Structure 1
Amino acid sequence: MHRLSRFVTLLFALLLTSNSFAENRNLEQELGDIESQINSQPSKFFYRLNQLKEDLPQFDIYSQQYFWTLYCDTAVRMELYQDVIDLVNNQLSQATTELTNDNKIELLICRAESKQALGKTQQSLLDYNMALEQAINSKHQELEISVLVKLGQMHGSLSNFAKGQKYLLRAFKLAQSLENDELLNNVNSSLGGFYAYKKEYAKSIPYYHKTKDYHLAKGHLQQASISVYNLGVIANKLQDYKRAVAYFNEAKSLSEKVGDIPGIAYAELKMVPALLAEQRFKEAEEGLNVAYNFFFQQKNSTKLAEVQKFRAQIDIHEGQYQLAIDLLHKVLPIYQKSQFLDEQSAVLLMISEAYLLNDDPDNSLRFYKQYHQIENELASRQSEEITQRMAAEFQFELKENENSQLKKLLDAEQQKVKAQKATQNLQIGLIVAGILLIVFVVYHLYKQYSYGKKMRALAMRDDLTQIANRRAIMASLKKSVSWSLRYQDSLSIAIFDIDNFKNFNDSYGHDVGDQVLAAFAQEMANAIRSTDDIGRLGGEEFMLIMPNTTVEQAKILMSRIMPAIRALTIKVKGKDYHVTASAGVTEFDIKNETLMDLYGRADTALYLAKESGRDQYKVS
């Protein structure tokens, strides 16, 4: 009887264990199904995860860990960032002894991503570093690579490129050593994006080629199309328009094979600038029609505005200035509503130029003023963002690099002051804290001032030629015109255009073209007076501002500048090539002219100089 009782008890326990095992298998299978489909309908599967949460305590710890990792990842996709932070805090505080190291790392990554999305930069970096430390300690190299990539991307977004590159290259070497093609492909993709964000476009190209080759070898045509699309974007940035068109057509072809309609539309839209640069207007129109139909169905007003902006550009080229103006007036409110200042600035400048071409200088000037206001706001915002990022990085560095020697000295000092009276202890503590606070505040303010000053200078200087950029030289012209009007002083300007620059660029490449631009700018800077101002308007166009100078005096200066330009030579493949330029010179009519009138007359004179055979200047 006793043996029979023991047998029944054992059989019942086995039945319970078998049932529990089956339930755990069922949960893991359902979680696996959810994980494979979560990208298609995140809200639907997040609802199912919330249903499963009620029955979670009856499952084993490994199934629970799988559930919570998937739940956090899905909540991040749903942008429920604060919920994720609260959930991870709860999991780490209440279940620390039951969580595996892998699960802790994945939860820390989720929390770091959520804090990053909420702008809590310093806290996010600390979480990523905790996750990295645990991954290294547990020798989980796959997770270590994931965290290194996250840290590299985040430091890149903070413009801390040296540290970002260090993390990403460390991830690259580790992935290579593991011979894990999938992990290595993820790192290659991140490095491509990192260098593109850093504007080192040439460095990003080989990494995007590697991701393309990987996906093609695996038969992942949609992912391969994304890599090729990124190569097209890079080619556009490098002004290699023929190659950009080829890349976007390849991306479109891959998207067509898998029926990826959005991929086709985006490739068509991004191809348009390259087609316009290549004067292939009919193909650009066809691509815009495809993109318009897709984005119209998607009710994507921002992308529709981008389509219309390109159509306006084509209208301007065809001389349909009023059509372009009407289109751009429809586009502008969309960008104003979405707070896209870069796009607002571009559209305002296009409207100003279209009005000028349509013989409406008053409206042209009105919209140019709005453009100038937005540009100033952009420069100010950029400076503030860079300062904030650097401040956050600086604070993190202070925490990350604590001085151990200083800590020892402070500990020793604390032991000494314990023997003194309470009042003396308080006074010394206040003095030390005050000094440290003053030093920190002064240092912090100095860093902010230095970074702000540096960023403001960079924002007004052309990177290639190291002279004033378009924004700076136009601001200088506006200031000079105001001064001339106020004090009735003479003012002359000259607009220069390097002769046959496009042919030179196409024949010898962009690197040689860049040498020409830089050498021309340096020659101009050496030839002008200390009171004059020179800046690059864009492309091969430059403007010289000559305050307190009549047109006759300007002619004297031009008689010195033009021979200096003709004497300029560029050595290409062992041969010397001479550089020439055409210029238009004019004097400001104080009583009857606006800034745009002055600029327009100089531009007209430049046109006459080029029509008359180039390598000369004309006066208007």
Structure 2
Amino acid sequence: MCFAWQSDDRVDALFKILDDGGSATTQEIGGYLMELENLIPADDIKRQKKLLTLKCWNQDSDNEAKKNLAVKFAIEQESIYASEAPSDTHLELLLCKGFYLQETKLFDAALVDYNKGVKEAYQLENPKLIADALSLRGSMLSFQGEFATALEDLITAQHLYENLNLTYWANNNLHQLATSYRRLGDPQGALSYLLKLEQSYLDNHNPDEAMDTNLQIAFALEELEQHSQALEKYQSSYQYWKNKNNPLFQHIISVHLAGNLIKLGRVDEALSYLLTAKEYLKIEEDNAFSFMHLHFSQAYLIKNEPQKALEHLALAEPAFKISNNHRGLIELYNQRALVLADLNQWQQAYLALSHYTELHLEQDKSSMSMRTTEMRTRFDVNKIEKENSLLIEKQKQKEITLQALTRNESLQNIIIVLVGLILLIVSVFAYVQLKRKVRFKQLALTDELTKLANRRHCYAKANTSLKHAIKHRIPFAIISFDIDHFKRVNDQWGHDVGDKVLITMAGICTNLMRKSDIIGRVGGEEFLVVLPNANKEQALEIAERIVTSVAQAQWQHLTPDTPQTISAGVTSLTNETSLAQLLLKADQGLYSAKSAGRNCVRQV
């Protein structure tokens, strides 16, 4: 015999297991879902909705046909609950739909759902769902090379997961964050995160996640040109998935293993792995499929078979384009230029080299400026409305009070006291909710490290000030500056010292600002100063004062014998109509200052 309260306890326990993540196998998860179906009554609407979202996230998607069925299921369920938006149920189904659209390579459609999901999560003020939405969007954008938005999303999600003590999801997100740093060109920084993450997974008995992290460590080691160490990691991952009888993962890893063997000069071994993988990997596995044929091309070129090398590049290119993999296309165009040159097809080689240069410059620009056009599609968090859950709570308490009065009029005096206590509790709850709202708003607008305005907030304030200046025809200027040779600080003294340099830099600049000025950290070592009602002469004077103050500051305790300096670009409003135009001019000034030897100001 099972009492209702016992069933409820078991249901809540199963929900917690599934929400917290962990090492449950696919078979175990299927058993939990079946048990929940048997335990939850049909009229328990709240739990039935929760069960529906869990079913969505745990659809079988091992192959393309099953992925398409998962998309169909998610689309049908999301449309059913669309009228409830914003709600936890609709948001979970919306994000689930975006995830399966991403799995089927419909990246644009997935991004639309992720953007809607982020907006709805902020409306609900649910920190777990905010983190989930940002982590999903950031992971996809990182894979596509859109690092500006990706890093902002992943860093914010990381803070939320850690504050909520959600270790499993924090580790998953940290994995994506470390991978983003590696893709952005900081494999050493990524490696330090990945080694800690791998140990955490091992300590918590999550072998699959640990092995996935092991693969990312191999990528980072390979980018650091530590090919022998990378080979050991690749081989351990290959053997692990082979022992688990997972041929898909086994052959995907064999592609990366082959690429590393080519760099070690072991071309015949590489071809052996690639030929085996070729029998298994199809274009549906676009990432592995594309790199497989790229590595085939590299191997055949080394073996003086350029025609074969060219044929494999033709197979790799459409697969890279399916997944919008810019990094892969950069490698492909460079390889194509080498192959065509070997075939003495100089005009085609020049065209391939032009494509390579164009994509490479685009990628470098994204990495340096951290300002991408996706800012236009970002939602405005200041306009998000909050759902008033306190009114619902008050209504429930009123119903309880009225029922008590109806049952026994003689208890009116006691009920009055109870109502007073309830109002007090509601007031305390309202105060707590208000503090939470303020905390989340601050988190959304403030850079965690320097306590300056983050890029989103800084750009929003700058846009407001610019519109005011244009409307009233008053001066307006901005200063864009970054720390000279900041990478050397991280490389020589470590990221902890680098963080302290950023904090000190923020303090110096803040002390030099007027009350009306706005200063924000808009990139790794990049800052933006917004100067309302300042003409070009005043802006230039402020910029020179900042440069001088930084150069004369005491840096001995942080970077001995290496004083820190900055380079700055200054521009003022003339006939521009958008912030993007002013930012471009300021960046041109910044690049001119760099070219002039750094530690100086240039005005455009």
Q: Taking structure 2 as the reference length, what is the TM-score of the superposition?
A: 0.49
Q: Comparing both chains, which one has the higher relative contact order based on Cα–Cα distances under 8 Å and sequence gaps of 6 or more?
A: 2
Higher Cα Rg, which structure: 1
Q: Taking structure 1 as the reference length, what is the TM-score of the superposition?
A: 0.48
